[in-house]
Amino acid sequence: MITTLTPSPSIDFDYELGSLKLGSVNRAVGFGLHAGGKGVNVSRILTLMKVNNIALVPMAKETGDFFLNAAESEKLRLEILPIGSPLRFNVSLVHEGLTTKVNAESSSWTPAEAKKIAGRFKIRARRSEFGVIGGSLPAGLDPDWLAKLVSDNVNRTKVIVDCSGDVLRAAVAAKPFLIKPNQEEAESLVGFAIATMADAVSACFEMVSMGTQNVLLSLGEQGSLFYNGETLFRARAEKIEATNTVGAGDSLLAGFIGTFKSGPVKALATGVAWSAAAIKSRGTGMTIAPSKISTDLISHINPKEASLEEELLHN
């Protein structure tokens, strides 16, 4: 069982545009509506993989029914955690392979709601191999809330954090099982630019030294790195034409943890394949089978080797 928690779920409207002009009326050539949020996206892919999971989603009843209807066709298993704030609505505009996102501000929680949500996650964590916490926190919630959620559950399940900024920094210090930053999030966390593959490797080392047990770093078309404190792995998918980047990182994480018991090589290759499939798909829903994506394990290296950085830089 895998439990996901999405602190700021959303309804996502995805518009595919033939042209995009600011200040003008733009006509959509494609449209999709999905239950959204990082944890929900992870659960969506896990469901497609037929991996047992449940998504915890805090929301008000008034908009919760709309969310449930949007998720029903995808057979997502949800547990609604009642709060007073309405659900947010996000918009993605996809044009020529680039995605422009307009995200509404996250809902807010009362202190009592925050306590109940943390308690419910703890209960689910006891029954789960992985507990995934993904996305932004509600407006006004202290970043330490998530850090405490991590520290309270590290002995119950393998806690995975996929967030950014101060929230990620606080969570890393609480020693989660895994974090999954993208390049920008990793740069913010470690405090230096990732301009080369050697920089990416150094960033992985630094993030583990900061507290996380493992790191899964996504680098776009350059592939992904997984570092467990002992060995570093890198995988990259075949070169593909990007249709939409929404949910690519969530798909990477889902594919990775969904096959983690098969070992890091299989898990990383599967995650990269699902991520590539998401990029080739329209909107948040998956339309391209990841089995049609070929991936290569580029490196499988003991970081104690002196040639580590050179080997990665020349791939």
Supply the pLDDT for residue 301.
Answer: 43
pTM confidence score: 0.86
- 188 within domain boundaries: yes
Please count the structural domains in the chain: 1
The whole-number pLDDT of residue 5 equals 98
* Position 218 in a domain: yes
The whole-number mean pLDDT for each consecutive block of 10 residues of the chain, a chain of 315 residues, reads 96 89 91 88 94 95 74 85 90 85 88 97 96 94 95 94 96 98 97 94 97 96 92 82 70 96 93 84 52 49 43 43
In the prediction, which pLDDT does 312 show? 46
Cα–Cα distance between 123 and 311 in angstroms, integer?
Answer: 45
27 domain residue, yes or no: no
Backbone angles phi, psi at 123, to 5 degrees: -65, -45
pLDDT at 283: 52
In a domain, 102, yes or no: no
Instruction: Report the CATH number that the domain containing residue 198 is assigned in CATH.
Output: 3.40.1190.20
Q: Specify if 33 maps to a domain.
A: no
pLDDT at 241: 61
| Contacts by residues 23-26 (CB-CB < 8 Å, ≥ 24 positions apart) | 26/93
State which residues form the domain around 242: 2-8+38-85+108-313
Is 21 among the domain residues?
no
* C-alpha dihedral, 151 to 152 to 158 to 161, nearest 10°: -60
- Decide if 93 is inside a domain: no
Nearest Cα to 107, choosing from 11, 8, 5?
8
